[in-house]
Amino acid sequence: MNCRAGFVWATPLHFNRFIEDCGIGCELVTPHMLAAPFYRPTLNCLIIPTGFANPAYSNLLPALRASAPRIRRFVENGGSLLVFGAAADKPDAYDWLPFHITYQHDFHPRNITCEAGSRAHSLIDDYDPSTIECDGIFPEYDGDAPGTCGSAAVVVENTLGKGTIIVTSLHEYPSRKFLQEFCSAASPTPL
């Protein structure tokens, strides 16, 4: 597999190593790099980890908002975007995405069901679906909700152009199978 993921954060995390252990090349994309017009990597997938909107953990939200047109073009041209929970009580934390979605912070274990047939179907394969940590729900969204806890959406999927965006409030790493499929499904795309 010849896949490259961009991991958007200020410093490397254990998540980077997990991605590489799945056989996917992982490039750290700092907030400054994301906003820099001369930075033009070719990636299959862009990953935004949990806590991106919480100022106690990161300063990423302003960079995501400033880079919204660039991220949109990346997905429209075939890139895959995986976004985790904001981990902050900010309903508008996802306003940089090219579709409407609101977030409600509420951290606790949940019983999650993922629909077969969606790109997100294997997201929780490595876990017991009855006790997966989530940091919130999505009360309003455009797109599909292939991952739910009762009637509450915890995974939202949206197609834009040639690419796919999956937003999830899972507070766990995605399954290895999911990462391998999601990061290889799209052809490499300039960011």
Q: What's the pLDDT score for residue 172? A: 92
CATH code reported for the domain at 4-190: 3.40.50.880
Q: What's the pLDDT score for residue 121? A: 87
87: helix, coil or strand? coil
User: Cα(46)–Cα(49) distance, rounded to whole angstroms?
Assistant: 10
Matching residue, tokens 């951290």: 107
Mean pLDDT for each consecutive 10-residue tract of the chain (191 residues)? 88 94 95 90 95 93 95 96 95 96 94 89 91 95 95 96 96 94 83 90
Residues 168, 154 contacting (CB under 8 angstroms): yes
62: helix, coil or strand? helix
3-state secondary structure 64-124: HHHCHHHHHHHHHCCCEEEECCCCCCCCCCCCCCCCCECCEEEEEEECCEECCCCCCCCCC
User: Cα(94)–Cα(46) distance, rounded to whole angstroms?
Assistant: 15
What are the domain boundaries of the chain?
Answer: 4-190
Q: What's the pLDDT score for residue 100? A: 97
Instruction: Give pTM, 2 decimals.
Output: 0.96
Q: What's the pLDDT score for residue 185? A: 67
Matching residue, tokens 């997938």: 45
118: helix, coil or strand? coil
Tokens of 90: 């900010």
Q: What's the pLDDT score for residue 184? A: 87
